[in-house]
Copies of this chain bind each other. A is one copy, B any other.
């Protein structure tokens, strides 16, 4: 329908993201999106066939941006630290929670989520492989296992951090800093 990538298209996704973050997806309606960006409700259906489609488009746009950020981080001087920082800080964990819940019932979204996880994982494994080749570790985990572990820690730490829980966090952050110092020396 409406031109993907146009100003209104982006504005609608921006509005939708803000609503999702601030009020949750029960409030993500065509009327609210329209009101938020100053157009009439009908126009939302000119740019998106259904509200589900809008949600999928929003996730896809976010995923593309996140993957671009990760790819850039992978080329930086200290890729592991850069990827860790992105994983820990870039995406609001409120939004992640909303998308995970929505993925349970929107098929197209579930496919996009799977795609994103796999692409991010592949990228992280590649970075870890290169790092391990330079500085072999005595640990039990290889690149794939480390990628899973680091991702899972980033998700849990940011979610709990937002909730106000921090038991054990300092210890984990300390261990990760030590690990990064070993495998990716600053000097």
Contact = CB atoms under 8 A, between A and B. Distances in A.
A132 interface: no
B172 A105 contact: no
A117 interface: yes
A163 interface: yes
Contact of A179 (B26, B125, B140): B140
A152 interface: yes
Contacts of A68: none
Contact of A156 (B113, B155, B165, B178): B155
**Which of A26, A155, A172 has the most B CB atoms < 10 Å from its CB?**
A172
Interface string A4-36: 000000000000000000011110000000000
Contact of A125 (B23, B100, B147, B168): B168
A27 to B, nearest CB: 8
A171 B144 CA distance: 7
A130 B163 CA distance: 28
A118 interface: yes
Contacts of A167: 118, 121-122, 125, 144, 147-148
A94 interface: yes
A102 interface: yes
Interface string A149-179: 1011101110110011101110110110011
Interface of A: 23-26, 94, 97-98, 100-105, 110, 113-114, 117-118, 121-122, 125, 140-142, 144-145, 147-149, 151-153, 155-157, 159-160, 163-165, 167-169, 171-172, 174-175, 178-179
